[in-house]
Amino acid sequence: MSDQPTNVSTQFDRVPETAADRTVEGRATRAEILDWFEERFGIEPAVFDSYTFWERGAGKIWAFAGDLTSPVDIEGLGMTALRTRQEHWKPTLEAVQRFGHHATKNRLHLTESRAKQFMAGEDQAIEWDGDWGYLIVTHDLAGEPEPIGVGLFTYGELRSMVPKGRRREL
Amino acid sequence: MTVLERYEPLIDDVEAFYEACERPLPSAVRVNTIKTTVERGKVALDDAGIDYEETDWLPGLLRLPEDQPGANWPYVHGWLHGQEEVSALPATVLAPQPGERVWDACAAPGSKTSQLAALMDDRGLLVATDNNMGRVSALRSNTERLGVTNLALTVEDARNHSLKPFDGAAYDRALVDVPCSCEGTIRKNADVLDEWNYEQVQGTAGVQKGILRRAIQATREGGTVVYSTCTFAPEENEGVLDYVLEEEDCRVVPFEIGLEAAPGITEWDDDHLDEPMAFDDSVTHAKRIYPHLNDTGGFFCAKLEVTG
């Protein structure tokens, strides 16, 4: 057995700044998280200047608007923002609703009827010239585009990633 | 004697009180300013065809004259949160500021927690505690939908709340909205009186005293603690304040709100008591809100300053 630190799934560990600071294998770093939001969605790192990122549960990254001494053995810290430790990282609906208005790319805007299908959890055929993979899906609310959640685009189809408990028939 | 008859001597207009208790409670929503503005929240309600009236005491708290609306866009975006009008009072009185350290001692299901976060502009540290894991998942679901990110959540008995995970520093403010006998919720839950018994009032008051004491201890000198309940029982209201005034370094301070209210009482007698209870004069700074005064649920709210 190695003495390497491992991920403890019941406590919050602040993610390391960079790969050079990493002690827990496979843990995302702050630099990687900021790069990912910028590369995937064009969300500038400055948006997260006042945030710290924490892992609790394998691959689950939480964004907290403050700082505490790591580790923190409590039940919740900020909001779940991102799923890592898998090939394609996936943002949460909550993070997309909270930070998605800063996105400048891989944003897909839906008409009202398509937005309702998406919120109900339905998949739909759609034309999209951009990247495949996870997209920030928006629609107009109070006259401006507003992020609803995460869609997965592959082979001409937009799959709704709205979690079952959040789906609604509107 | 019914449970409510017990409180008749405290009430100015008993007939209006009973009439109000029998009417269903009007629905209300609070616009969540973490995710939108009050103006845009109102536009989204207009677009969804949902009628509302503004309350005259709290911007962004809206009454819905029709029944509770079903699912709608502003709700799924976390722009709105259904919250009974009078329950928006204690967070308003606590008035936390962005960047402060704040404790919500009995947080689930999170209506007041998310209101505190909004008042803080989602900045600073908001620690939310509850002892019931099931209710905590409702809290988490609400705060995530509402986009709260300055929240740290602990599951523990608030009487034994530990500051250790939070670098040991005291809070600037604490909200103590305790579990109680809940007669004030009769307009949404008529069964609440069936479960009422005096032994439970006494037991609950013991827990309330313990939680309020812990909140005062965990708050810095000069900091603010707000104590609130939805019961009319003086044992759980003025009686708890009187106890902590004896035991902890604090004082009850006056506050203004735009709601009709009666002052806290200094004397109380009842068949259940061997002798009348007397409370410190300063508990008159607390406010008793009866359902007929503002067409809301019943409520009790006190503001304390920590002096040591």
- pLDDT score, position B1: 67
- pLDDT score, position B177: 98
Q: Out of A65, A74, A166, whose CB is closest to B149? A: A65
Q: Judge whether B172 is closer than 8 Å to chain A, CB to CB.
A: no
Place of tokens 């003086």: B234
Q: Out of A68, A165, A170, whose CB is closest to B73? A: A170
- pLDDT score, position A1: 45
- pLDDT score, position A48: 98
How many angstroms separate the CA of residue A128 from the nearest CA in chain B? 24
- Give CA angle at B33 (B30, B36), nearest 5°: 105
Give just the sign of the alpha carbon dihedral A97, A78, A10, A18: positive
User: Which residues does chain B have within 8 Å of residue A75's beta carbon, measured at their own beta carbons?
Assistant: 136, 153-155
- pLDDT score, position A122: 98
Structure confidence by residue, pLDDT tens digits, B222-272: 999 999 999 999 999 999 999 999 999 999 999 999 999 999 999 999 989
Contact criterion met (CB < 8 Å) for B77 and A141:
yes
Place of tokens 């708050």: B219
**Coil, helix or strand at residue B269:** coil
Q: 3-state DSSP helix/strand/coil percent for chain A, to nearest 5?
A: 25, 30, 45
Structure confidence by residue, pLDDT tens digits, B90-101: 999 999 999 999
- Give CA angle at A97 (A94, A101), nearest 5°: 145
Task: Tell which B residues from 42 to 71 touch A, by Cβ distance under 8 Å.
Answer: 43-44, 47, 71
Direct distance between the N- and C-terminal alpha carbons of chain A, in angstroms, rounded to an integer: 54
Q: Judge whether B131 is closer than 8 Å to chain A, CB to CB.
A: no
Place of tokens 């604490």: B174
Closest by CA to B269, choosing from B292, B241, B298, B238, is B238
List Cβ neighbours of B221 (8 Å cut-off, separation of 6 or more). Answer: B249, B306, B307, B308
Q: Out of A64, A144, A169, whose CB is closest to B149? A: A64
Contact criterion met (CB < 8 Å) for B36 and A148:
no
User: Which residues does chain A have within 8 Å of residue B44's beta carbon, measured at their own beta carbons?
Assistant: 141-142
User: Which residues does chain B have within 8 Å of residue A144's beta carbon, measured at their own beta carbons?
Assistant: 40
- pLDDT score, position A168: 94
How many angstroms separate the CA of residue B242 from the nearest CA in chain A? 33
User: Which residues does chain B have within 8 Å of residue A80's beta carbon, measured at their own beta carbons?
Assistant: 144
Question: Is residue A86 very low, low, confident or very high in pLDDT (cuts 50, 70, 90)?
Answer: very high
Task: Tell which A residues from 42 to 101 touch B, by Cβ distance under 8 Å.
Answer: 50-51, 63-66, 68-69, 72-80, 94, 97-98
- What are the beta bridge partners of residue B202? none
Question: Is residue A3 very low, low, confident or very high in pLDDT (cuts 50, 70, 90)?
Answer: low
Structure confidence by residue, pLDDT tens digits, B117-166: 999 999 999 999 999 999 999 999 999 999 999 999 999 999 999 999 99
Instruction: Find which of B34, B73, B164 to mutate to test the A interface (most A CBs within 10 Å of its CB).
Output: B73
List the single range of A93-102, A140-149, B22-31, B34-43 with lowest mean pLDDT.
B22-31
Contact criterion met (CB < 8 Å) for B73 and A141:
yes
User: Which residues does chain B have within 8 Å of residue A79's beta carbon, measured at their own beta carbons?
Assistant: 143-144, 147-149, 151
- The percent of residues in chain A predicted with pLDDT above 90, rounded, is 94
Structure confidence by residue, pLDDT tens digits, B172-230: 999 999 999 999 999 988 888 888 999 999 999 999 999 999 999 999 999 999 999 99
How many angstroms separate the CA of residue A141 from the nearest CA in chain B? 6
**If you count them, how many residues does chain A have?**
170
Structure confidence by residue, pLDDT tens digits, A138-153: 999 999 999 999 999 9
Contacts of A124-131 with CB under 8 Å at 24 or more apart are A124/A157, A124/A158, A125/A156, A125/A157, A125/A158, A126/A153, A126/A156, A126/A157, A126/A158, A127/A156, A128/A153, A128/A156, A128/A158, A130/A105, A130/A106, A131/A106
Contact criterion met (CB < 8 Å) for B77 and A75:
no
- What are the beta bridge partners of residue A64? A52
Evaluate if residue A157 carries a pLDDT over 60.
yes
Residue B286 burial (CB < 10 Å; 0-12/13-18/19+)? buried
Contact criterion met (CB < 8 Å) for B165 and A94:
no
- pLDDT score, position B301: 98
Quick one: average pLDDT of B278-286? 98
Catalytic positions of B, please? 230
Tell me the Cα Rg of chain A: 17
Contact criterion met (CB < 8 Å) for B124 and A168:
no
- pLDDT score, position B190: 83
ipTM of this complex prediction, to 2 decimal places: 0.95
Evaluate if residue A2 carries a pLDDT over 60.
no
Task: Tell which A residues from 123 to 152 touch B, by Cβ distance under 8 Å.
Answer: 141-144, 146, 148
Residue of A nearest to B125 (CA): A66
- pLDDT score, position B195: 86
B115 in Cβ contact with B30 (< 8 Å): yes
**If you count them, how many residues does chain B have?**
308
Evaluate if residue A27 carries a pLDDT over 90.
yes
Residue of A nearest to B33 (CA): A98
